[in-house]
Amino acid sequence: MSRRVPLGSTAADLDAAIAAFVGELGDVAVVTDGDALLEFRDPYTYRESDEFDASAMVMPTSTEQVQAVVRIANEHGVPLWTFSQGRNNTYGGPAPRLRGCVLVNLRAMNRVLEIEQELAYAVVEPGVRWFDLFDALQDAGGGLWPSIPDLGWGSVVGNSLEYGIGYMPHGDHASHVCGMEVVLPDGSLLRTGMGAISGAKAWHVYPHGFGPSVEGLFKQSSLGIVTRLGVWLMPRPECYASCWVRVSGYEQLAEVVDVLRSLMLDRIVENHPMITRGLEVDADGNPYLDPMSETWHGRFALYGSADLIDAYHRVVEARLAHIDGAEVGRRNFDGDDGDGPSNHDERVQRGIPDMDFLDERLLPYGPRTGHLDFSPVGRCLGREVVELQKLVRSLYEKAGHPHVGGICLAPRSALCITTTFYDTTNQAQTERVYAAYSEMVREVARHGYVPYRTNLQNMDVVADQLDFGDHALRRLHEAIKDALDPKGVMAPGKQGVWPAGRRDR
Ligand code: ADP
């Protein structure tokens, strides 16, 4: 494979930067071999496509090395693209938006730096996976539970920065980040919030700071590389109850959403309920996809003492009782039940990571399967959730693509996650799926909806929809980008934000 030189740089720039990276990190930590880099392609784009190939990869092991990498990138005008684990596959995995970027792979920075039992938080480096955080918390006595996403192989930092979700009370991961250390685009180091003072005491406990808060600037962002992050955790409750409600049809779905919203706003249900359609399990416990299914499987949890959970569940049952055909149930677990529950739905609401979810994602075409998630954010009102479901369904039908989905609820918002599957070795099919996705983005935008994150192919398309005030948000993003990253070396094109030098590409 020939070396990919990033647009706006020359082969000489790249060679000089690579020599400097080797000088700083050693040659084992710098990968330039084309075959080795194949593993770091966008896993769900057409298998043979080189559209998002990197030119090289560096693997720093310390904050100082990350700073050195960024300084070298500036010196030689070579852009970087960072990942922590690079497992967020439906959004590009480890691959860069701009072909030829040098990957900054942070997997080797994988220490859990601190576990604070009394204040219920941990501090992690970017390479720490959900599995690692869980293990560290168990080793520390199991008195704290993390909120986790469906797959345990991703990183706490990457997922939280991307607004990833989990299904515990602190499942809005980005909102439970507190205190970051960030390498800025000029290579200097920033500590956010109360971390701005040397010897800070309240860095990971107080979410604001003195003056304007800047932490949001580093989420879904091309303005820095996060090298350390505080994350809030949940003290182990006495008991945990995994609850479910199953209904058929849109009318019933709307009622379930309204009841769950009332339970969340009343703080009876404190986690993030998930309602799925099209993901089924047969009598032997094997998962299968049924895109035509009209059945909605709702899952949520209760936490607290046994008495409290019984009382809460009586309220839950009473509010769901009037819904036609609703099946309601629960399973109770002691908080200190060592092994915990045995199935994924029950484990993920208890903070125990696994990889089970991947099995059903590979069902259609085995290891060749790609899937695209199209996930607009709506309001947590039954009638509007159903309207959005019907709209999205009509768009998939128009494109002729079957889909399955889930609705992740918060007290006020509803994330409408939908997934279609394809064979990544089939170029025509893969390209059709991405083209239909772009059209879906444009169509839901006409109704006032925007996806909460997106794949590399569609970052510009989504950003283009944010048109209020003649694209006021884009202008602000670009002004900040140009001020902090004048050479445009950090993640060019991330979320549709391009640096001045590459804006007219
Ligand atoms: P995961 O850990 O879930 O596998 P990734 O490592 O792929 O997630 O990260 C997802 C995205 O988040 C990356 O594409 C990148 O844009 C951003 N990101 C990840 N880690 C960092 C970091 N340490 N600093 C800044 N941005 C990051």
Of all protein residues, the one whose alpha carbon is nearest to atom 10 of ligand 1 is: 158
**Residue 38, number of CB atoms within 10 A of its CB:** 12
Average pLDDT over residues 463-469: 98
Mean pLDDT to the nearest integer, 24-44: 97
Cβ atoms < 10 Å from Cβ of 121: 19
Could you confirm whether 453 is annotated as catalytic? yes
Query: How many angstroms separate the CA atoms of 283 and 227, rounded?
Result: 46
Counting from 1 in the atom list of ligand 1, the atom nearest the Cα of 153 is 4
- Locate 337 and state its tokens: 């039940």
With a Cβ cut-off of 6 Å, ligand 1 is lined by 82-88, 94, 106, 126, 154-155, 157-159, 161-162, 225-226, 491, 494
If one residue of 83, 104, 357 were mutated to test the ligand 1 pocket, choosing by the most ligand atoms within 8 A of its CB, it would be: 83
pLDDT single digits (tens) 470-487: 999 999 999 999 999 999
91 is catalytic: yes
pLDDT band at 282 (very low <50, low <70, confident <90, very high): confident
pLDDT at 2 over 80: no
Q: How far is CA 22 from CA 102, 402, 413, in A?
A: 13, 47, 47
Specify whether the CB–CB gap between 449 and 414 falls below 8 A: no
How many C-beta atoms lie closer than 10 Å to residue 291's C-beta?
A: 17
At 490, list the tokens. 């950090």
Residues 212-236 have pLDDT tens digits of 999 999 999 999 999 999 999 999 9
Asked if residue 504 has pLDDT above 90, the reply is no
H-state helical runs in 244-283:
250-265
Q: Mean pLDDT throughout 59-88?
A: 98
pLDDT confidence band for 206 (50 / 70 / 90): very high
Single out the catalytic residue among 47, 330, 379, 453.
453
Q: What is the DSSP string of 345-359?
A: HHHHTTT---SHHHH
Per-residue pLDDT, 364: 84
- pLDDT at position 124, please? 98
3-state secondary structure of 496: helix
Q: What tens digit of pLDDT does each residue of 105-134 get?
A: 999 999 999 999 999 999 999 999 999 999
Catalytic: which of 91, 167, 434, 437?
A: 91
Q: What is the mean pLDDT of the chain?
A: 96
Pocket test for ligand 1, best of 82, 130, 151, 457 (most atoms within 8 A of CB): 82
Residues 160 and 122 sit within 8 Å (Cβ to Cβ): no
pTM given for the model: 0.96
Buried b (16+ CB within 10 A) or exposed e, 54-77: bbbbbbbbebebbbbbbbbbbebb
Tokens of 350: 């208890």
Torsion of CA 114, 117, 118, 119, to 10 degrees: 50
pLDDT category at 285 given cuts 50, 70, 90 is confident
**Nearest C-alpha to atom 15 of ligand 1 is from which residue?**
83
**Residue closest by Cα to atom 8 of ligand 1:** 158
Q: How far apart are CA 353 and CA 12, in angstroms?
A: 45
Average pLDDT over residues 409-433: 97
